[in-house]
Amino acid sequence: MREVIQLSTAQRETLVDITNQVKSAVHKSGIKNGLLSVYAQGATAAIMIQENWDDSVQTDVVNFLRQIIPKGVWLHDQQDGNGDSHLKAGLVGPSETIPLINGNLGLSQWQNIFFCEFDGPRSDRKVVCTIIED
Domain ranges for the chain, please list them. Answer: 6-93+102-133
Q: How far apart are the first and last CA of the chain?
A: 12
pLDDT at 63: 98
| CATH code of domain 6-93+102-133 | 2.60.120.460
List Cβ neighbours of 114 (8 Å cut-off, separation of 6 or more).
Answer: 15, 16, 17, 18, 47, 48, 49, 50, 58
Distance between CA atoms of 86 and 76, rounded to whole angstroms?
9
CB-based contact 23:105 (threshold 8 Å): yes
Which pLDDT tens digit goes with each residue over 28-53? 999 999 999 999 999 999 999 999 89
**Helical (H) or strand (E) element with 121:** none
pLDDT at 7: 98
CB-based contact 128:4 (threshold 8 Å): yes
Which pLDDT tens digit goes with each residue over 85-96? 999 999 999 999
